[in-house]
């Protein structure tokens, strides 16, 4: 990962708009409500397939855009694309995804919706986010794969 | 707790999530993985400016759109040991697993990444199993 690269003003604006669009989508689709998410994941009670529609819609939108941009040599505001370098499966990916799924299924928050809901000022949401950031920190300073 | 199936707002919201991801890809050449960007904004040494701006957009957008769009009252979890355990698991798991619902589930699967497809299947299955068995968290309307 490239270090010490200063973000340009335009990159900062683009990132702000990107985060804003995603969060608006999370709020409008009601994925900001963990009960909606739990009612998808919990297949026993009150099943609500809303999450499936959100995922499908986001996937199709991104996939179409990504395909249309296939011939783009470089992004508009940087010298080159920054795409993930790892392609092989490893134990960090599998173990990490498993832990994430467990945490997600307990409360119904993945990182995006938990952050989108911060403005509500609710203790349970803030507690979740603080604990999540502690998890980020532990994993950052103790990576599983090298 | 019952919730109503809301396919139309779900489809519109999903399009916005996809467009948000595309903006970051087209302009900054980055994959819009919310867990990785947020962790980077907090703990990475260089290149934090755009990451902080992205997180700021996440935090502010629901407040900005609220006056223009009629949104229902959302639930929030009550603070309990389980809320904290879940937060810790999500934080650890998304970093060790290199992504969450946005980076793996939306962007990665769209890019036909094998790693993202496997991660998404694992976290979806784990989520379904634990949510179907466990009901230890209670919610209030925010």
In the predicted model, what is the mean pLDDT of residues B71-97? 97
Of B79, B122, B134, nearest to A97 by CB-CB distance is B122
B13 at A interface, C-beta within 8 A: yes
Q: Do B20 and A18 touch (CB under 8 A)?
A: yes
d(CA B138, CA B136): 7
DSSP reduced 3-state for B105: helix
- Split at pLDDT 50, 70, 90, the class of A3 is very low
Domain ranges of chain B: 7-141
Q: Do B93 and A42 touch (CB under 8 A)?
A: no
Answer for the pair B33, A82: CB distance below 8 angstroms, yes or no: no
Q: What is the ipTM of this complex?
A: 0.97
In terms of DSSP H, where are the helices of chain B? 7-23, 34-43, 49-65, 81-96, 109-110, 114-133
Q: What percent of chain A has pLDDT over 70?
A: 95
Residues of chain A contacting residue B95, judged by C-beta atoms under 8 Å apart: 96, 135-136, 139-140, 143
Asked whether residue A146 carries a pLDDT value surpassing 80, the answer given is no
In the predicted model, what is the mean pLDDT of residues B84-106? 97
- The number of beta carbons lying within 10 Å of the beta carbon of residue B124 is 20
pLDDT single digits (tens) A39-82: 999 999 899 999 999 999 999 999 999 999 999 999 999 999 99
User: Which residue(s) pair with A82 in the sheet?
Assistant: B30
d(CA B37, CA B59): 13
- Split at pLDDT 50, 70, 90, the class of A145 is low
């Amino acid at each position: 990962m490239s270090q010490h690269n200063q973000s340009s003003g335009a990159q900062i604006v683009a990132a702000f708009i990107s985060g804003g669009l995603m969060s608006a989508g999370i709020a409008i689709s009601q994925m900001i409500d963990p009960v909606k998410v739990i009612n998808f994941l919990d297949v026993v009670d009150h099943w609500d397939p809303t999450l499936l529609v959100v995922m499908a819609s986001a996937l199709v939108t991104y996939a179409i855009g990504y395909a249309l941009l296939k011939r783009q040599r470089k992004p508009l505001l940087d010298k080159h694309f920054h795409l993930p370098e790892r392609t092989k499966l490893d134990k960090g990916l599998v173990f990490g995804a498993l832990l994430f799924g467990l945490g997600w299924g307990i409360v119904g928050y993945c990182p995006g919706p938990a952050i989108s809901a911060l403005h509500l000022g609710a203790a349970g949401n803030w507690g979740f986010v603080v604990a999540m950031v502690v998890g980020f920190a532990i994993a950052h300073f103790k990576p599983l794969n090298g | 707790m019952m919730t109503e199936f809301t396919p139309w707002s779900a489809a519109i919201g999903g399009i916005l999530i996809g467009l948000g991801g595309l903006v970051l890809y087209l302009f900054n050449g980055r994959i819009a993985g919310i867990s990785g960007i947020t962790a980077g904004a907090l703990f990475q040494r260089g290149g934090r400016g755009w990451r902080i701006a992205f997180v700021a957009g996440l935090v502010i957008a629901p407040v900005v759109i609220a006056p223009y769009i009629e949104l229902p009252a959302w639930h929030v979890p009550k603070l309990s040991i389980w809320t904290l355990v879940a937060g810790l698991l999500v934080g650890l798991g998304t970093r060790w697993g290199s992504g969450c619902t946005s980076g793996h589930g939306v962007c990665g699967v769209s890019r036909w990444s094998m790693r993202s497809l496997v991660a998404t299947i694992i976290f979806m299955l784990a989520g379904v199993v634990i949510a179907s068995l466990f009901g230890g968290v209670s919610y209030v309307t925010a």
